[in-house]
Homo-oligomer: A and B are copies of this chain.
Amino acid sequence: MNYVFDNDKAIYLQLAQELTSDIISGKLKPGNKIPTVRELAVLASVNPNTVQKALNELEKNSLIYTERTNGKYVTTNVEIIDQFKDKIIYEKLDTFLSDMKNIGISDKEINTYLSKMKGKNNETNRM
């Protein structure tokens, strides 16, 4: 996890997206315990309230659930994760393609750019 936040968007939303990525990618597996709010707060150099707000987003999407006094866990319902993964991929693709279109880049050009860049983008980590 590489917590560098973009000033243009609320931190709690960016954090929620990072954590969602971790679940979707399998980095955090079904049933895994999520680090405590305080641990995450330290990891992300962020106020616990902000972490709480981020985790609420995940819970709203049923990606995690809370065991009272025991902690928060990744859902064991693989269906939900898979569906969410599909939804996010679709959204990101859609946004990417319509952005390219708005900028005036044809499908053909997209392919050219993509083949140029693949394998080179190891530095950044935005979502």
Contact = CB atoms under 8 A, between A and B. Distances in A.
Given A9-B9, A93-B114, A93-B117, A125 B98 contact: yes
A25 interface: yes
Q: Which 9 A-B pairs have the closest CB atoms?
A: A25-B104, A21-B102, A96-B96, A97-B121, A98-B124, A107-B118, A95-B126, A99-B127, A98-B121
For the complex formed by this chain, how many copies does it contain in all?
4
B93 A113 contact: yes
A79 interface: no
Interface string A51-74: 000000000100000001000000
A78 to B, nearest CB: 14
Nearest to A119: B107
Interface of A: 7-10, 13, 18, 21, 24-27, 60, 68, 85, 88-89, 92-105, 107, 110-111, 113-114, 117-119, 121, 124-127
Contacts of A18: 102
A99 B27 CA distance: 14
B102 A92 contact: no
A98 B126 contact: yes
Given A92-B100, A97-B118, 19 more contacts: A7-B68, A21-B99, A24-B103, A24-B104, A25-B104, A27-B104, A89-B103, A89-B113, A94-B117, A98-B121, A98-B124, A98-B125, A98-B127, A99-B126, A101-B121, A102-B125, A102-B127, A103-B127, A110-B114
